[in-house]
């Protein structure tokens, strides 16, 4: 079952721009609006009192987000120059009372975010660093933000990716080089990569029986 976030357009809304690095809302701020990404990318993150952070999600175009009902439990920053549609809460509640499709759109959006957070936690708990990066690249490739076949946009920094995958930035850079050497990744522009996951599948595939090196004992009776 799917939903169309355009059903929210009946509420009062306006386009707003956020320059790269600009804060959209801060953890602990009162919730005043729901946002939909039209272009660019948004980073959601948890912050602690010591200044540390955990990146929990990246939001690509076409996706709606809001973290919290009364108070934001995470912060949102523009990863790159971003255009957003801002839906004022007061107008949204009025629309929801009149149109169940708008209510379902918000419910599906919230459910999608919770589902991604649960899967994210599971992968951080059970996957090694290389597998985490592989999952991340596969996920980005499925966001539908690419303008060319097999090309993925990675506007976020290595530090962003490291904080999302809970590994060191140096490890992220080393794993990127490893994937470039394997043929899975090749640069296609600034922060853009040609992604060829089938190169990994070919590399991981077993050798045909006729090409395997058999132990010497196999030939002993020949």
CA quadruple 161, 163, 167, 171: dihedral, nearest 10: 40
The structure's pTM equals 0.81
- According to CATH, the topology of domain 129-204 is Arc Repressor Mutant, subunit A (1.10.10)
Architecture of domain 5-126: Sandwich (2.60)
Check if the beta carbon of residue 23 is closer than 8 Å to that of residue 75: yes
Give the domain ranges of the chain.
Answer: 5-126, 129-204
The total of other beta-carbon atoms located within 10 Å of residue 48's CB is 9
Where residue 154 falls among pLDDT bands split at 50, 70, 90?
Answer: very high
Non-local (6+) Cβ contacts of 91 within 8 A are 11, 12, 13
* Six-digit token string for 150: 């097999």
pLDDT number for residue 200: 61
pLDDT digits (tens, 9 = 90+) for 113-152: 899 999 999 999 999 999 999 999 999 998 865 567 789 9
């Amino acid at each position: 079952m799917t939903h169309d976030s355009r059903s929210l357009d009946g509420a009062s809304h306006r386009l707003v721009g956020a320059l790269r690095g600009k804060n959209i809302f801060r953890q602990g701020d009162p919730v005043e609006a729901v946002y939909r990404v039209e272009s660019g990318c948004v980073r959601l993150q948890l912050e602690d009192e010591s200044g540390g952070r955990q990146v929990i999600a990246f939001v690509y175009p076409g996706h709606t987000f809001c973290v919290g009902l009364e108070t934001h439990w995470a912060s949102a920053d523009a990863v790159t120059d971003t255009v957003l549609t801002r839906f004022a809460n007061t107008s949204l509640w009025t629309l929801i009372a009149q149109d169940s499709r708008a209510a379902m759109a918000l419910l599906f959006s919230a459910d999608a975010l919770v589902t991604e957070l649960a899967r994210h936690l599971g992968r951080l708990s059970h996957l090694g660093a290389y597998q985490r990066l592989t999952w991340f690249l596969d996920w980005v490739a499925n966001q539908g933000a690419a303008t060319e076949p097999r090309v993925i946009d990675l506007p976020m920094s290595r530090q962003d990716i490291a904080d999302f995958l809970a590994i060191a930035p140096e490890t992220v850079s080393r794993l990127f080089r490893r994937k470039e050497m394997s043929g899975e990744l090749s640069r296609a522009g600034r922060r853009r990569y040609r992604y060829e996951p089938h190169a990994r599948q070919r590399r991981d595939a077993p050798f045909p029986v006729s090409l395997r090196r058999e132990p010497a004992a196999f030939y002993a009776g020949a």
